[in-house]
Structure 1
Amino acid sequence: MNMKNTVLILMMCFVFFGIAVAQESAPAAKEDSNKLKNQADEKIYALAMRYNDVSVAKMKLYELMERNPKNLRYPELLAAIYFEMEQYGSSALVALDVLERDSKHIPSLEIAAYSLEQLGALERALPHFESLHLLSGDLFSLYKTSYLQYSLKKYDEALNSVNMLIKNKKSAEQTLNFPKDDNSMQEVSMLAAAQNLKGLIYKDQGSNSEAKLAFEEALTHSPEFELAKENLASL
């Protein structure tokens, strides 16, 4: 092999080596660029939220979502903004998109459940409340489950859920707020609320004696429970 051919081969090796290095460094450079863009957008998002500029905050979240399609934190934040703004259709859609990718994503389950309830889509909201309780053990989610089942006239399921709530010792320790006739709010134990709901279920089924016992039981736990008093008097 003459000198000319040797030099040519060496030059070709250097060219191929340069291409390989460039190909390897390109993804790393893109990753660094995206990281810097993410940091800048997150700072702008934080400032926009601080200054209550929701439109800018949403725009930055959309940009972050487009750049980071696998990061569920950004759509979670967007769904929360829509929910706070009472744009329940949008918050439900964003949360449902997240749940398609992660069915156990608790923040999105919560937003989807309450958004769908606000939209009157009780049948669609119900399974999300059920999942919330199963995944988190949250008693309020169990109460909401039983109340939606009652509202949808799924009485057997509602009784099963409300009895689970009554048997849970923590229900006597937690509280719920209910409206009074003077438009103020009244705090009662969750156990009393569950017994009151149990009474409503029996009342709808025409079992007035069982309903009476449940309303009276509610009043033993929260004697000033105005709604339970009214329900008992209605019998």
Structure 2
Amino acid sequence: MNKMMKYAVLILLLCAIVQPAVMAQDSSNTQGEVPATVPADSNKARNNSDNRIYALAMRYNDASVAKIKLYELMERNPNNLSYPETLASLYFEMEQYGSSALVALDILERNDKSLVGLEVAAFSLEQLGALERALPHFESLHLLSGDLFSLYKTSYLQYSLKKYEEALNSVNMLIKDKKAAEQNLNFPKEDNTMQEVSMVAAAQNLKGLIYKDQGSSAEARTAFEEALALNPEFELAKENLADL
């Protein structure tokens, strides 16, 4: 019986020695170097997977899946504005102007110089009829990018909002810009086709409309004639001149 007790004591001693060694080994595994392989559920791996699925969804014209993946990428990468910019553009292409405007405005709260945010906000708000809110975004877009179409849209919205002096100033800036003569705009015709005219001719036609609204018929006539001198077949300018 004494011999068995000796064996039991010996076993207990061995256990007491082995257990700390095992614990020390476990601790070294926990606190040691990070394994060289990247875990499958890491942010980088998940981002790569979501980007691949987004690309496939866009290729297969599945906008609903594409949007879900963009939302997941936005949640996982809150400091990367390229994802909300892509989402805003996608909503705009789908003609969901309320959603595209909201996303774009959120982008501009974080970066008021985002060209994508400014462009989507401007055109979305215009489509929604919020011209007063769209106008400053068109103005900023032109100032930051030098885009002449944004300047034309600025002048047109100013005219629509009856801000005639501001509209004339914008139109004259456009007419004086040499690059405007190299660019064209499309206008609808009576037969539902589109007609391409120079941006300068379009600006002169708009200038005529501004003068017409102000009751300056002589100046309006001169502007419409200037537009027709540049594009003799400019149907809208012909109609405006005839209305005088």
Determine helix, strand or coil for the equivalent of 2:121.
helix
Question: What's the TM-score once normalised by structure 1's chain length?
Answer: 0.88
Question: What's the TM-score once normalised by structure 2's chain length?
Answer: 0.85
Which residue does the alignment assign to 1:7? none
Task: Give the root-mean-square deviation of aligned CA atoms.
Answer: 2.2
Q: Does 1:48 align with 2:89?
A: no
Alpha-carbon shift at residue 171 of structure 1 (Å): 1.1
Is there any run of 5+ residues in structure 1 with no aligned partner, and where? 1-10
Which residue does the alignment assign to 1:122? 131
Question: 1:109-142, CA deviations, whole angstroms, 9 ceiling, x for partnerless residues?
Answer: 1111000000000000000100110011010000
Amino acid at match of 2:210: I
Runs (4+) of structure 1 exceeding 2 A deviation are 17-22, 29-32
Matches of 2:39 and 2:173 in 1, distance apart? 53
Which residue does the alignment assign to 2:168? 159
Gap change, CA 1:31 and 1:121, over 3 Å in 2: farther
Gap change, CA 1:20 and 1:201, over 3 Å in 2: farther
- How does 1:11-160 map onto structure 2 within 5 Å? 21=31, 33-160=42-169
Alpha-carbon shift at residue 21 of structure 1 (Å): 4.4
Determine helix, strand or coil for the equivalent of 1:176.
strand
Gap change, CA 1:124 and 1:214, over 3 Å in 2: same
Determine helix, strand or coil for the equivalent of 2:80.
coil
Question: 1:37-56, CA deviations, whole angstroms, 9 ceiling, x for partnerless residues?
Answer: 00000000000110111111
Determine helix, strand or coil for the equivalent of 1:186.
strand
Gap change, CA 1:33 and 1:212, over 3 Å in 2: same
Which residue does the alignment assign to 1:200? 209
Amino acid at match of 2:131: L
Gap change, CA 1:68 and 1:195, over 3 Å in 2: same
Alpha-carbon shift at residue 32 of structure 1 (Å): 7.9
Alpha-carbon shift at residue 25 of structure 1 (Å): 5.5
Structure whose CA Rg is larger: 2
Equivalent position to 2:230, from 205, 218, 221: 221
Gap change, CA 1:19 and 1:228, over 3 Å in 2: same
Gap change, CA 1:230 and 1:44, over 3 Å in 2: same
Alpha-carbon shift at residue 107 of structure 1 (Å): 1.1
Amino acid at match of 1:117: E
Q: Does 1:186 align with 2:195?
A: yes
Amino acid at match of 2:82: R
Identity of aligned residues (%): 77
Alpha-carbon shift at residue 34 of structure 1 (Å): 0.3
Alpha-carbon shift at residue 19 of structure 1 (Å): 10
